[in-house]
A = this chain, B = another copy of it.
Amino acid sequence: MSDQIKTIKDIAKSLNISVATVSRVLNKSGYFSPEVGKKVMDLVQETGFVYNRNARALKNDKTFTIGLMLPDISNPYFSSIALTIEEYFNRIGYALYICNTKSDPELEFKHFNTFIANKVDGVICISQMSKLPNNFMQYNIPIIAIDRFPICNIPITKIMNDDYQTSFEIAELFVKKKCKNIIMISGNYENVIINAELLKRFNGFYDGLKMHNITFSQENLYFVDMSSDDIIFETEALINSLIAEQKEIDGIFATSDQFALGAVYALNNAGVSIPGKVKVASYDNSLYSTICRPAITSVDQNLHLMATTACEKLLTLINSDQKKSNEVIIIPSYLVERESTN
């Protein structure tokens, strides 16, 4: 029984060859004889040797790691994206860092620095990126942003839905169902009240209603505090207060299934019939929308396609000389009608 084999030096010593040869075998690069090749591979097999990626990274300036930053992994919306991304990259030998930003700019900043320190080969970000390290550009790390984008001039590949168009369609659905008093529910983040994505949804929805002469304004837009531990409960409380003040509502457009769920929960509790009295539609098309009674009409954002596209684009950038790109990719979303708008 040979000594412990922990480095290629150990392998070299054990087989009386040089580390260079071992490295060449392990990387299948350069010349080496089949006999030596077999000896090395056999020993690797037998001992289960694994090379040190930190050392390799140091030499090669390539870590085979990806950083994924998102607001909250416990949210099914984000975790389903995370699953797709992890599977994509693990399949091709990359490891994945995940971190939660809670939409907190300070955390985003900290995580970004950790990514830089760990020399990730690329970043996928589903967070606002309100505060990027000021020297970020000098680290040639490609970034793909999904669904939300920073207000900065760093070139970033952006992947988004055709939100305006789909929200417009939702508006038309409400109109078709004779709704007149519609409210919209969205999340607010500590510092970002209106983000680009919300704006597109608001505008699409606004224009869709306006086309049919239904009044809708910012006053019909309600916010749920996203920093809360229980967003569904927060939404419930919001709707309860609207019910309490006897506000007339016959349609609710939520920018996330979680809000829609909270709304349905509150309406159910109050004995308000859905869709009889109030129609509900939302974004996400998560499991929530199918589980809920009544099932909720929701926009499917094609998350798997978004995530896969993000991976492909990122990989392309990683493997190209030009690490930065400003490309904008629109992924089509589509409305799935269910009981809540019947």
Residues of A that sit less than 8 Å from B by CB: 4, 6, 47-55, 57-58, 63, 65, 72-76, 79-80, 82-83, 86-87, 90, 95-100, 107, 110-111, 113-114, 116-119, 133-136, 138-139, 232, 261, 265, 268, 287-288, 291-293
What residues of B have a CB within 8 angstroms of the CB of A52 in the complex? 58, 117, 119
Given A6-B138, A51-B117, 18 more A-B residue pairs with CB atoms under 8 Å apart are A6-B139, A48-B134, A49-B135, A50-B116, A50-B117, A52-B58, A54-B58, A73-B79, A73-B82, A74-B76, A75-B79, A82-B98, A90-B99, A90-B107, A97-B97, A232-B291, A265-B291, A288-B291
Q: Which single member of B54, B76, B86, B265 contacts A99 (CB below 8 Å)?
A: B86
Q: Which single member of B83, B139, B232, B293 contacts A73 (CB below 8 Å)?
A: B83
Given A4-B138, A135-B48, A288-B291 in contact, is the A73-B86 Cβ separation under 8 Å?
yes
B118 touches A53 (CB 8 A): yes
Q: How far is the CA of A75 from the CA of B57 in the complex (A)?
A: 33
What residues of B have a CB within 8 angstroms of the CB of A80 in the complex? 74
What residues of B have a CB within 8 angstroms of the CB of A90 in the complex? 99-100, 107, 110-111, 114
A74 touches B83 (CB 8 A): yes
What residues of B have a CB within 8 angstroms of the CB of A75 in the complex? 79
What residues of B have a CB within 8 angstroms of the CB of A134 in the complex? 48
When C-beta atoms are compared, the residue in chain B nearest to A132 turns out to be B48
Q: How far is the CA of A63 from the CA of B55 in the complex (A)?
A: 12
B118 touches A54 (CB 8 A): yes
Q: Which single member of B49, B51, B98, B133 contacts A98 (CB below 8 Å)?
A: B98
